[in-house]
Amino acid sequence: MPSKTNTLSTFTNALSTACERLGYSDSIHKLLALSAREIKVEIPIVRDNGELAVFSGYRVQHHNARGPYKGGLRYHPKVDLEEVRDLASLMTLKTALMDIPLGGAKGGIDCDPHSLTSRELEMLTRKFVKRMHRHIGPEMDIMAPDVGTDASIMGWIHSEYSAIYGHSPAVVTGKPINLGGSQGREKATGYGVAIVIDAVARTRGGPLSGATAVIQGFGNVGMHAAFCLRDLGVKVIAVSDSRTAVYGKDGLDLDGLVKHKQERGTLEDVDGHRNISHEELLALECDYLIPAALGGAITRKNVDTLNCRHLVEAANAPVTPDAEDALLKRNVEIVPDILANAGGVIVSYFEWVQNLQRRAWPLFKVDRELNRILHGAAHDVMSRSHDEGITLRAAAYEIAAMRVKDALDATGF
């Protein structure tokens, strides 16, 4: 069996179980687990103060049996090859579970984007593309935003790549709208989290309106999930960012929070709200606890403090395997990342299609298609979970692994 001592061993465990239950050989398991290609580059930049800084950039291309490699680009000081590799393999399963014609990849640079000026970030991004351009492209590997990256960074990638190969908006998704970005892409992952929660609630027969949600992380995914859940009648009672958490038992004033964060850069001291610790936030009683920050947030150490009925993985791999075991024993339902946060890659797929066809879809079409795909995937996962008596994660992995294996079979390896 392939052995990896990765931080996201949830993937390794779940894939092993899926391959075993599906009766796949060790070789197929190995093919599904290992990356096709791993690229590492050094990126030197001259900082605004004249000093030289050197960063490491990574791109791991996991699988392209079902279509070009596809996955985000993360800017975070802790990015390393191991983390990028794990996230790339999750992407392969996510695109397969959504049944969209793309493979899986991930990239990152080990920088703290908040400590770089806009000029430094632009230079870093352009240099990364200069070193990576032979390995990416609209039909080869398409990048997208992730933690620490945004639409402007995607715009610089598009611009640098296009300077070499000619106008190529489809090399990257999550771009600004005026550079070929798609309507609805920015909110897509958070909106998708809300759509999946709605689908689960409908199947379980519980009303979503009046349910309570607690969200760890108030960045792109967490913030949009909060607004979309509020629109579905859910009371969002707490959110957090890296510095603090905010609680309001009757539901938060989300517009007020966003305004405060934009003006002051923090969620501290928001009028009419109470700040609590990160630990207190995780321990709040709620229907849906939604980790939407970084991986490995729920561990053996803090899992016993949780008081939620469902845990929805908006972040990638937020629950460690031992924490997952503890939650399952307490009948907490875990909605896995490859289902819960797939909204982003679905709308990225729509953006790619629009770019290749030189067309722009209206928002209603993006939202309608996103709902169709996510409701279908959620239904497939819940049905398999029910029929086979397995967890939602196990069901999602089996469906995804079967699709990748079928594609490999069809290509004849």
In this structure, what DSSP letter does residue 53 have?
A: E
Q: Which of 6, 133, 8 is nearest to 59 (CA)?
A: 133
Residues in the chain, total: 413
State the pairing for strand pair 104-109/212-216. Answer: unpaired
Residue 57 or 148: the one with the smaller Cβ distance to ligand NAD is 148
Report in angstroms how near the CB of residue 162 gets to ligand NAD at its nearest: 23
Smallest separation, CB 240 to ligand NAD (Å): 4
Q: How far is the CB of 241 from ligand NAD (least distance, A)?
A: 3
Q: Read off the tokens for 366.
A: 């993006």
Tokens representing residue 367 in the block: 């939202």
CB 7 within 8 A of CB 85: no
Closest-approach residue to ligand NAD (CB) = 219
Between 43 and 98, whose beta carbon lies closer to ligand NAD?
A: 98
- Nearest to ligand NAD of 57, 71 (CB atom): 71
Among residues 120, 138, 139, the alpha carbon closest in space to that of 128 is found at 120
CB closer to ligand NAD, 125 vs 216: 216
DSSP three-state, residue 4: coil
List interacting residues with ligand NAD (CB under 6 A).
145-148, 189, 216-222, 240-242, 278, 292-295, 314-316, 341, 344
Contact 341, 318 (CB under 8 A): no
Amino acid in the structure at residue 99 = D
Q: How far is CA 233 from CA 32, 110, 253, 313, 363, in A?
A: 40, 39, 14, 20, 22
CB 199 within 8 A of CB 176: no
| Shortest Cβ 335–ligand NAD spacing (Å) | 13
Phi and psi at 47, nearest 5°, equal -75, 165
Q: Are 43 and 131 in contact (CB under 8 A)?
A: yes
Using the minimum distance from each CB to ligand NAD, give the nearer residue, 14 or 314: 314
Q: Is 261 a catalytic residue?
A: no
- What minimum distance in Å lies between the beta carbon of 87 and ligand NAD? 7
Closest distance to ligand NAD from the beta carbon of 23 (Å): 31
Cα 202 from chain centre: 24
Query: How far is the C-alpha of 69 from the C-alpha of 49, rounded, in Å?
Result: 37
Q: Which is nearer to ligand NAD, 146 or 160 (CB)?
A: 146
- Of 106, 127, 235, 405, the active-site residue reads 106
Active site residues: 106
